[in-house]
Structure 1
Amino acid sequence: MDNIKQWFAERKAIYYILSLFYAGKVNEGLELLKKSNLLHNFKSYDHNKKLSQGACEIINGFNKNEEVDYKKVILEEHQKLFVGPNELLAPLWESVYKTKDKLLFGDIELEVRSYYNSLGLDVKPSEAADYLPLQLAFMSRLCSISQEYNLERLNVDELEKIRGNLSIQKEFLNKHLLSWIPLWAEDVNKNAEEQFWKGFAELTEGWLENDLIEIERLYKL
């Protein structure tokens, strides 16, 4: 059971790190990246080119910018791509990519919000629930809940709880994150000037695809 415990813990941390970066908390995200050795681990993922190539892009970006304040560069481009004040080049909301009028707070946002509410998680009415950092944080929370189950002895009840949790994760990835992230990643790749965000978007897409495969494998337990 140690492998399952570690799997949930690692996934919880990865989703949390991803959410930090897209929320603009670059300093905290970079510190966790260094401690986790995540980029070097992903670099060797030969079975998932998006993960490995994305990690290589990020590492190369750091290596080429050792003499500048790269944190500042990353934050400035985060502002330009995802925040504004000018036209957003790669908006961080699912509704933008899946609705004709690209308006927030519609049916998609309500559906995402209902996932959060089902676990007792609240999002301010003024904040769109389909915001990428919130979606990633939700996946991290689901992993955290799985860790709370008694993984030392998987009786029928515990096994059903894990299956139910994984079912929600699988559904959320399919219906939401993976339904728009590929389109969004194209916008990042097209508009980003720095290797960091190009690589980070590619890594994010690769991670989500890889995680879905892993969930489907474990879901058969």
Structure 2
Amino acid sequence: MSQSDVIDLQSLQTMAKVFGSLLYFPLTDSNNQTLIQALSQDVALADSDIQAWCNTVQSELPDSLNQDFFLLFEGGEVMLAPPWGSVYTDKEEVIFGDSTVAYRQFLRQHDIELDTGMREPEDQIGLMLFAVSQLIEQQQDIDTVKALFAEHLLTWCYRYFELVQEHARTKSYQQLASLVSQWCEAVQELLELTPKAMKLYR
């Protein structure tokens, strides 16, 4: 493995962890607030889209961000942009569908544990990005990382990001969905991935 590959993997691991946190916990969560503050002050990110996004988050009311998080990630009567993969890949649009089961087996096979203390589907978008970070942190073979993206995440995430951009009420979540979607496209190109073809029901 060349030095450039190592640097790319380190960057991939860091960004997967960052975006995982931003898409799993509320933006108003204290850890995310610390993260956003650090990103906004990172000289290496000066004038970047990420820093522009940080400014957007800091300009919006916490109550508005929390309300958006509830609607997008926890759900009112209708979930307009469900954050779980099987809702998109299962004909019945259910959580804990067949794709969740397949993904769970993949995680077990590679000794990845995502213990959140709750009984929730492992194919939540933020948790999947945490899994990417863990795989790289454990120095798993790059082919394993590629398999997670191509067979489990990229199969549905672009549609999910479209729905978040369409239905989010705050610019923070609209822009976050766009940022992570663009990052996924960059990863797909970098790792030369062809996502597994799956019919989507959303």
Check whether the contact 1:142–1:169 (CA below 8 A) recurs between aligned residues. yes
CA distance in 2, matches of 1:39, 1:71: 26
Decide which of 123, 129, 133 is 2:122's aligned counterpart: 129
Provide the secondary structure at the position in 1 that maps to 2:138. helix
Query: Could you say if the C-alpha distance between residues 23 and 62 of structure 1 is closer, same or farther in structure 2, counting changes exceeding 3 Å?
Result: closer
CA distance in 1, matches of 2:89, 2:36: 31
Which structure has more relative contact order (CA 8 Å, sep 6+)? It is 1
Per the TM alignment, residue 41 of structure 1 is displaced from its structure 2 partner at its CA by 3.4
| Identical residues among aligned pairs (%) | 20
Matched, 1:24 2:25: yes
Please, what TM-score do these two structures have when normalized by structure 2?
0.78
Greater share of helix: 1
Query: Could you say if the C-alpha distance between residues 170 and 121 of structure 1 is closer, same or farther in structure 2, counting changes exceeding 3 Å?
Result: closer
Please, what TM-score do these two structures have when normalized by structure 1?
0.72
CA distance in 2, matches of 1:33, 1:58: 9
The higher radius of gyration belongs to: 1
Q: Map 1:161-200; keep pairs closer than 5 Å.
A: 165-200=141-176
Per the TM alignment, residue 85 of structure 1 is displaced from its structure 2 partner at its CA by 3.4
Per the TM alignment, residue 122 of structure 1 is displaced from its structure 2 partner at its CA by 3.5
Structure 1: segments with no counterpart, 5+ residues = 45-51, 147-161
CA RMSD of aligned residues (A): 2.8
Decide which of 135, 139, 150 is 1:142's aligned counterpart: 135
Check whether the contact 1:93–1:132 (CA below 8 A) recurs between aligned residues. yes
Query: Could you say if the C-alpha distance between residues 209 and 83 of structure 1 is closer, same or farther in structure 2, counting changes exceeding 3 Å?
Result: same
Q: Map 1:1-221; keep pairs closer than 5 Å.
A: 2-26=3-27, 27-36=30-39, 41=45, 44=48, 52=49, 55=50, 58-59=53-54, 61-62=56-57, 65=59, 70-123=61-114, 126-146=119-139, 165-216=141-192
Q: How many residues align?
A: 187
Per the TM alignment, residue 198 of structure 1 is displaced from its structure 2 partner at its CA by 0.5
Structure 2: segments with no counterpart, 5+ residues = 194-202
Q: Please tell me the residue identity of whatever aligns with 1:11.
A: L
